[in-house]
Structure 1
Amino acid sequence: MIYVFNLRHFKWLIMLLLLILILLLFVLSGRWFIRQIYPLKYSDYIFKYSKENQVDPYLTASIILVESKYYPNAVSKKGARGLMQIMPRTGEWVAQQLDLEGFHPDYLFDPEINIKIGTWYLSYLMKQFNGDLTLVLAAYNGGQGNVRAWLQQRNSNKENDLEDFPFRETRQYVIKINRVYKVYKRLYG
């Protein structure tokens, strides 16, 4: 028996190919769309200084997204500056530790300097809090003095889940960074 390829079969084949193409475009554009929501701008600086300071670059990217949405001239209500929202006093102190001479707080608007100082500070906090990411993020947001005070007054048998941490904003910040961090690792890692 000879199989005859007719017009009806051709239409089904074209429809199947179109469906496959649409699904492929959806998958590819879906990833593209998600990368627009979770960008990786300044990746050269992020990877360079994260590696130099032994910080996961996707953690750095997560902090930048949450803190400034990648806007290098961002200024918070409290005066934190730049991509990683570094307070001028913290920036000055870290600049001294890094022997960056002639530091001025306006330098925090420079993406490279901001990321260099921010990743060094994250690394410093990692050492101060034995790599406990919850405590590191709480200290980055709420201040290491506040985290130390909280650790001293709470029951030492509890995990560092921040449920009883006195600053609601800091608790929410830690949750948000962890959520964004998971997305960055899945999307780019």
Structure 2
Amino acid sequence: MTTRARRRSRSAVARRRLFAAVLALLLAVGAVVTAFGPLRRQFERALLPLEYAAIIREQARAKGLDPALVAAVIYEESKFQDRTSHAGARGLMQITPATARFIAARSGGSRFVLSDLSSPPVNIAYGCWYLRYLIRRYGGNETLAIAAYNAGHTNVDRWLRRAGGPQQFDPNVDIPFPETRDYVRDVARRRQQYRRLYAAELGL
């Protein structure tokens, strides 16, 4: 074999070895992705829990809401914990007694009892009713409704007037409260995450 032929042979062997190494690397990466894909999903679900999925599905369906939106609001409000805020808001969806009395009177429910707000079915039912009420109040504009859920409709109405109406309203500019700006953004992001991670549980 000539020197040139030997060089060509060695070059061919080197190319085959390189190809085999690249192929092995790709197969290894594929195996890792396959193995760790479910683990990543489990990790994401651990960071973003979902509880009371059946109640959320039922109430969202009854009120014409996206279950993922309801789950996102609950997460941002209470992280699915039965809490009482410094302002007196209670339960999973952080409803104040005054708002609960308003909901009970408007929804034709029985006489409001403060302890009811610690009941997940009641709290989620009230929160979904109020969320639907706000969405309708703002002509289907969910961004305005979510802002009002956090800051109150009186504030949102004032911001709308300053902005010149819903069409001109920019939540990044026209919401003066940093907490509410973050809340609107975070609810929107969590909503998409819940849709991706819990589609089956939420009936999506």
Q: TM-score, normalised by structure 1?
A: 0.84
User: Hey, what does 1:118 align to over in structure 2?
Assistant: 127
C-alpha separation in 2, matches of 1:112 and 1:158: 37
User: Hey, what does 1:185 align to over in structure 2?
Assistant: 195
Contact 1:134/1:160, CA 8 A, preserved across alignment: no
Percentage of matched positions with identical amino acids: 38
Q: Does 1:52 align with 2:62?
A: yes
What RMSD over aligned residues (CA atoms) do the two structures have, in Å?
Answer: 2.1
Cα distance, 1:130 vs structure 2: 1.1
Contact 1:79/1:88, CA 8 A, preserved across alignment: yes
User: Hey, what does 2:108 align to over in structure 1?
Assistant: 99
Larger radius of gyration between Structure 1 and Structure 2: 2
Q: Deviations over 1:127-146 (max 9, x none)?
A: 00011111011100000111
How many residue pairs get matched? 174
Contact 2:163/2:169, CA 8 A, preserved across alignment: no
Which aligned pairs between 1:55-134 and structure 2 lie closer than 5 A?
55-71=65-81, 73-134=82-143
Cα distance, 1:168 vs structure 2: 1.8
C-alpha separation in 2, matches of 1:151 and 1:76: 27
Q: Equivalent residue of 1:41, what SS? A: coil
Which has the higher mean CA deviation after the structures are superposed, 100-109 or 54-63? 100-109
Cα distance, 1:162 vs structure 2: 4.2
User: Hey, what does 2:21 align to over in structure 1?
Assistant: none
Note the residue ranges of structure 2 that are not aligned, 5 or more in a row.
Answer: 1-25, 200-204
C-alpha separation in 2, matches of 1:171 and 1:17: 45
Cα distance, 1:61 vs structure 2: 0.3
C-alpha separation in 2, matches of 1:146 and 1:110: 29
Q: Does 1:24 align with 2:34?
A: yes
Cα distance, 1:51 vs structure 2: 0.4
Q: Does 1:33 align with 2:39?
A: no
C-alpha separation in 2, matches of 1:170 and 1:19: 42
Q: Equivalent residue of 2:38, what SS? A: helix
Note the residue ranges of structure 1 that are not aligned, 5 or more in a row.
Answer: 1-15
Contact 1:108/1:114, CA 8 A, preserved across alignment: yes
**CA 80–24 in structure 1, closer or farther in 2 if over 3 Å, else same:** same
Cα distance, 1:154 vs structure 2: 2.2
Contact 1:92/1:105, CA 8 A, preserved across alignment: no
Q: TM-score, normalised by structure 2?
A: 0.78
